[in-house]
Amino acid sequence: MNRPPETNRPPEDEFRDLVQELRRTAPEPPPIHWGAYRAELRDKLERRRAPAPWTWAWSWKSRPLQIAVATSLVAVLAWVGLPGRQGADLALVENAILASRLDLIVQLDVVQRLDVLEDFDVISRLDRLTVNEG
Amino acid sequence: METLAPSDEALCKRVADRDGRAFDDLVERYQERAYRIAWSIVRDREDAKDCSQEAFIRLHESAGTFAGQAKFSTWFYRILVNCCLDHQRRRRGWRRLLGWGGGGEEGESDPIERLPAPFVDPTEALGAERHMNQIWEAVEELSPQQRTAVLLQCREELSTKEIAAVLHLSEATVRVHLHRAYTTLKRRFGEQS
């Protein structure tokens, strides 16, 4: 595969005069006071290091229980709001909220393995079959 | 007996160990270069000051990640150039939001973008100065990456390899950028003179 012509020769060789001209005529930036520059930098660094008071007040580390309850509530609401879950029994929501308060969520992996929800699904379908056939 | 000044790399390691004195030394060594490069890219005194200071703050925060495989200057220039390009992107975003630079070519409808860099007093319109202004005005109109590559090569005298490391590009891509930039400048400069 052929390389593009511009990659064959170093551009600084090909445009030597122009590069030298640019080097010679490079404009200088407006002067600044370096003492003030460093003082300002130190100030910015200090401000960056110290967290703002509201950051600490709202830090998740300082409110683990509240965050856990809020997260479980959001999860429940999301589950209820899933397609096909419209009109779900409010008792289920209540149970889920109670479960989160009673620390049952800690055993979430065990609960998930029980496939309880799938069983409910089967049972509800069985009910419907009975109604249709009868 | 005179003691040898510690290398940039050694100072950076000490910065990672939270040595405030080492950080001050690095700032003193690089402040002028950092400000000059930032100004060359953002073309505004206050913005250049902010960008270069932001680069030093990032250096302070991430000194521990400097592996020492590249030169410290290359690593630091990369931080600095990223700060400047981020700043320009943000500025362009705001302008687009405010409806300054909606369509067309970049910088075409933007009044600030069209301003030349604050060169020396224009009343002293000597031939050499006009010549200098023209050539650098043409540099201002290059794309941000082309302009940065030209500035790093011409002002900071970095090699193509170092520019590639700073811009996180391959050497071949940097050569293409430089080649296109110089071709544009030569064509523009030929038209003007």
pLDDT at B190 over 60: yes
For residue A41, give both structure tokens: 């930098």
Task: Return the ∠ at Cα B32 (arms to B29 and B33), rounded to 5°.
Answer: 85
**B130 lies within 8 A of chain A by CB:** no
Q: Which of A12, A30, A40 sits opposite B118 (nearest CB)?
A: A30
User: Which of A87-96, A116-125, B175-184 has the least mean pLDDT?
Assistant: A116-125
Q: What is the pLDDT of residues B120-149, one digit of tens each?
A: 454 554 566 666 777 888 888 888 889 889
B163: which residues sit within 8 A by CB, 6+ positions away? B149, B152, B153, B169, B174, B178
Express as a percent the part of chain B with pLDDT over 90.
44
Query: What are the φ/ψ torsions at residue B115 (nearest 5 degrees)?
Result: -65, 135
The CA-atom distances, in angstroms, between B185 and each of A5, A111, B58, B179 are 18, 70, 34, 10
Mutate: best of B46, B51, B182, partner A, most A CBs <10 A: B182
Residues of A in contact with B22 (CB under 8 A): none
The whole-chain average pLDDT of chain A stands at: 72
Whether B124 and B130 have beta carbons less than 8 Å apart is answered as: no
- With cut-offs at 50, 70 and 90, classify the pLDDT of residue A20: confident
3-state secondary structure B92-113: HHHHHHHCCCCCCCCCCCCCCC
Residues of A in contact with B150 (CB under 8 A): 22
What length is written for chain A?
Answer: 134
Residues of B in contact with A28 (CB under 8 A): 36
Whether ipTM > 0.90 holds is no
Whether B88 and B144 have beta carbons less than 8 Å apart is answered as: yes
